[in-house]
Amino acid sequence: MLALSLYVLIWPVIVAVVAIVISKAFISEAREAKRRGEDLI
């Protein structure tokens, strides 16, 4: 039961970390494209 409780408490943290990593990568790509004067897509 304890393991399940820990899993339920920890997975939102893992999801948040992954979302932050993806967002940072996207923002850096967008800045790089803007600096080069290119489209993001």
pTM: 0.69
Question: Cα(40)–Cα(28) distance, rounded to whole angstroms?
Answer: 11
pLDDT computed for residue 40 by the predictor: 78
Q: Are 8 and 2 in contact (CB under 8 A)?
A: no
The 10s digit of each residue's pLDDT in 18-39 is 999 999 999 999 999 999 998 8
The residue ranges of every structural domain in the chain are: 1-41
